Amino acid sequence: MVDRFAHQPTGSATEPANVAAPSTPPSLLEARGLCKSFGGVRAVNKVAIDVPVGQITGLIGPNGAGKTTLFNLLANSLRSDSGTVMFDGSPIQELPAHALARRGLVRTFQVARVLSRLSVLDNMLLATQRQTGETLWKVWLQPGKIASEERRERDRAWEILESVGLAAKAQDYAGALSGGQRKLLELARALMTHPKLILLDEPAAGVNPTLINQICDHIRTWNRDGMTFLIIEHNMDVIMSLCDHVWVMSEGSNLANGTPIEIQRNPRVLEAYLGD
Amino acid sequence: MEGFVVSLVIFTAIFTLFGLGLNLQWGYTGLINFGHVAFMTIGAYTTVLLSLRGVPLWLAAIIGAVAASLLGLLIGFSTLRLREDYLAIVTIGVSEMLRLVAINEEEVTRGTFGLQGFPLPLEDLNPNGFVRLLMMALLTVVIGLAYWQGFRWLRQVWKQSPTSELLSSSRVALGYILSLVLAVVGVGFLSSQLKAGEVLPPWVLGALLLAACVGIVLLFVWLGDRATKRIAGWTTGLSIVIAMIAGLVGIWAFGYSLTALYHYNDNPSKNGLMLLSVLLVALVFLGLDRLVRSPWGRVIKAIREDEEVARALGKNVFAYKLQSLMLGGFLAGLAGALYSWQLTTVYPDNFRPLVTFNAWTIVVLGGAGSNLGTLLGASIFWAYDTITRFVLRDIVPLEDARLGAFRVMIIGLILMVLMIWRPQGMLGKKEELTLGR
Ligand SMILES: Nc1ncnc2c1ncn2[C@@H]1O[C@H](COP(=O)(O)OP(=O)(O)OP(=O)(O)O)[C@@H](O)[C@H]1O
Ligand SMILES: [Mg+2]
């Protein structure tokens, strides 16, 4: 796939038009004062973050800054010690983790976690929300409805798999995919849930440059279709080219936030990255 | 002979049902249940006690199964939020506790004296010729269905590997099994002759017999190990041959069952129970088959593998585990009702941990996550049990207690080599074990 992207050098600060948009849209996700300690370690310390609706927001910081932990708190994979998270206008920090996907918040994992012993297609279908066939007794009572839902979702899954180039692998076990393909599958699977917001933990880690470009391309396309993203990434080219707004964490706390260009020029950020 | 085969079929059906419950819990959902017999105990005692108080049998059995699934609810609520090993420990504890309660609550369960003389299903039925023909037709359809499932498995295996490889490995496997049988029978025959002739002092004979057994085991394990390393698809061939033999034995048993149904009134309670349990297994089998292929089945398979992912994709993991545990418990409770009808006397000792162990053997042997495998596992298990109980006694000069220990040892040995040669079990999918995260 030769893309628009190829004509623009990555990392150039000349990118998206909407960076320049003066007014920020309302927040889809808004966290305030989040704290999490592991024993004595304060992994996340009074962190705040805003994710405006319809935008791509970046989250960067040195290794061990607490980014993944923050994701776990936002997705309720971990319980926060204190703080609030508002999603789509209501507080979610008390909800069980599984309730979030239904509300439209889905996350991926830093180390891709595909279900190796299910087929790629089943991995996709699993992500569908509100399936009739997931209720025990309806399996026997409404077979027709389930079958038609399955057909519909299968078509959608094929479509998404095709768009990320995994259609040829659809019937294989997901465990037979390469590392980069797993990243793609995770992304595609997240998309299957019909999310409003996707939290991506290092989508480009361990992925070859061409594939990174492809992933970025997809993210941009989906974003244009109205999906909001929050992306953790160490690859600055990706952050700079994709994001409308970037948040920086260091040692468990907020360090800065601003447009990619502002962040790039911020001396405190440079200091945190270069150390001491 | 008919009565003997009928009771063999009933036991196989009961343990298929029992094993299907465990396979749902462990094979598909990954719940480690080391106290499966607890559900059976509840099912059996509830059914019997209620029917003794005049509750109709079918209702008593359903209440028994529901009670068993409520036990699943109780266990699940207390442990399923914790790490998986807690479930394993609690289930062992609960199953032993229930047995001890049954021993000591003499007011209700009559303790070790056991409960006798409770009503049995269909014992007063007096079917005319037409009804008996109908029963035979029904049985034929159900058995045909089972063989068709087996055939589908075979066809799938055939598609996956080259035919020549399968043929040659099956041939080797057949030779292997035949020579194993010959060796065992030969040694047994020889030692019986020696014992009858009293040419050797008993301790010499015992030592010789022991040496011969160890020799056979070592030789065949060694041969099998070489074959595993050198012959492609050898364990598949072995599975095919064993499944075929089981299929042939099944046809033989089917013949006798048909005759038994024809002479229904010779032993109405047993013949009726056979038909009932076979039909129940068929019904449950079809229901489960649909279930594990449904979106619900997809979710529990996902949970088996990585519950964190399932949760992130919006699945209520706890609720699914609970459902699986309860449904598996329900099936075991139903098996318990049938078990009590088959035994006609219910003692607490019928529900020792060994029964759980047998269910695990069946599921592991057949292949975790394969319902057909559970059916095959149960058939092989009971065929083995019967053969060794009645045939081994005639060929190996050991007294019953030692023979019993010997038989369990062999099962342990089989499970060991199974884990080494074919860890996925006979009909399990290899990929489900070898593909890592
Ligand atoms: N489960 C845990 N138990 C104890 N400490 C933890 C746990 N999870 C994270 N930590 C600690 O919290 C800190 C933040 O970890 P986190 O994974 O959030 O970093 P990160 O910003 O995602 O880093 P990276 O960029 O390397 O992925 C680290 O010091 C880590 O050791
Ligand atoms: Mg991280």
**Domain boundaries along the sequence of chain B:** 2-432
Q: Do A130 and A29 belong to one domain?
A: no
**Which neighbouring-strand residues pair with A197?**
A105, A228
Q: Is A182 among the domain residues? A: no
Among B301, B314, B436, beta carbon nearest to A193:
B314
Residues with CB under 6 A from ligand 1: A 38, 41, 43, 61, 63-69, 110
- How much is the mean pLDDT over chain A? 85
Q: Look at residue A20 and tell me whether its pLDDT is greater than 80.
A: no
Q: Which atom of ligand 1 is nearest to the CA of A67?
A: 21
- pLDDT tens-place string over residues A94-147: 899 999 999 999 999 988 899 988 999 999 999 999 888 888 888 899 889 989
**C-beta neighbour count of A26 within 10 angstroms:** 10
For the CA atoms of chain A, what is the radius of gyration?
19
Residue A119 confidence (pLDDT): 92
Q: Which atom of ligand 1 is nearest to the CA of A69?
A: 18
- Mean pLDDT (chain B, rounded): 86
Q: What is the pLDDT of residues A164-178, one digit of tens each?
A: 888 999 899 998 888
DSSP-derived secondary structure letter, B200: S
- Give the contacts of A263 (CB within 8 A, at least 6 positions apart): A60, A246, A248, A256, A257, A269
* Chain B residues whose C-beta sits inside 8 Å of any chain A C-beta: 287, 290-291, 294-296, 298-299, 301-302, 305-306, 308-317, 323, 327, 431-432, 435-437
Q: Is the pLDDT of residue A18 over 50?
A: no
Asked if pLDDT for residue A8 goes beyond 60, the answer is: no
Same domain as A211, residue A90: yes
For B432, nearest residue in chain A (alpha carbons)? A117
Q: Do B436 and A116 touch (CB under 8 A)?
A: yes
Full domain range(s) for residue A140: 119-176
How many domains would you assign to chain A? 2
Q: Measuring from atom 10 of ligand 1, which residue has the nearest CA?
A: A43
**Cα→Cα distances A253→A44, A111, A199, A262, B222, Å:** 6, 23, 19, 19, 62
Residue A60 falls inside a structural domain: yes
Residue A183 lies in a domain: no
Query: DSSP states of B94-161 as a string?
Result: HHHHHHHHHHH-HHHH-GGG-EES---TTTT----HHHHHHHHHHHHHHHHHHHHHHHHHHHHHHHHS
**Do the domain assignments include residue A133?**
yes
A30 plus A143 within the same structural domain = no
Q: Final residue of a domain: which of A176, A204, A222?
A: A176
Q: B79 pLDDT exceeds 60?
A: yes
Q: What is the pLDDT of residues B245-260, one digit of tens each?
A: 888 988 988 888 888 8
* Smallest CA separation from ligand 1 atom 14, residue: A66
How far away, in angstroms, is B79 Cα from ligand 2 center? 31
A120 CA: distance to closest CA in chain B (Å): 12
Q: What is the token pair recorded at A255? A: 């360090």
Nearest to B24 by CA among B334, B398, B273, B268: B334
One domain for residues A156 and A225: no
Q: Is 0.90 topped by the overall pTM?
A: no
Put simply, the answer to whether A98 touches B299 (Cβ < 8 Å) is no
Total Cβ atoms within 10 A of residue B57: 19
Q: Check whether residue A107 and residue A42 sit in a common domain.
A: yes
Q: Give domain status of residue A157, yes or no.
A: yes
Q: Are B37 and B100 in contact (CB under 8 A)?
A: no
Could you tell me the distance, in angstroms and rounded to a whole number, from the CA of residue A253 to the centre of ligand 2? 14
pLDDT at position B165, please? Answer: 84
Ligand 1 centroid to A65 CA: how many Å?
7
| Any B CB within 8 A of A131 CB | yes
In a domain, A185, yes or no: no
Least confident of A151-160, B108-117, B139-148: B108-117
Q: CB-CB: which of B295, B296, B302 is closest to A115?
A: B302
The beta-strand segments (E) located in A80-138 are: 82-87, 90-91, 105-107
Same domain, A102 and A203: yes
Whether A40 and A165 map to the same domain: the answer is: no
Q: Do B298 and A122 touch (CB under 8 A)?
A: yes
Interface contacts A/B by beta carbons within 8 Å: 99
Same domain, A29 and A65: yes
Closest CA to B414 of B292, B271, B235, B258: B235
B80 versus B32: which is more confidently predicted? B32
- Domain CATH number, residue A203: 3.40.50.300
Residue A158 maps to a domain: yes
Both A90 and A169 in a single domain? Answer: no
β-partners of residue A58 are: A231, A246
Domain-embedded: residue A154: yes
| Straight-line distance from the first to the last Cα atom of chain A, in angstroms, rounded to the nearest whole number | 42
**Which residue owns the Cα nearest ligand 1 atom 3?**
A38
> What angle is formed at CA A99 by the lines to CA A68 and CA A79, rounded to 5 degrees?
40
Q: Do A118 and B431 touch (CB under 8 A)?
A: no
* pLDDT value, residue B362: 93
Same domain, A228 and A150: no
Kind plus residue range of the DSSP H or E element containing B81:
none
Chain B residues close to A134, C-beta within 8 Å:
295-296, 299, 315
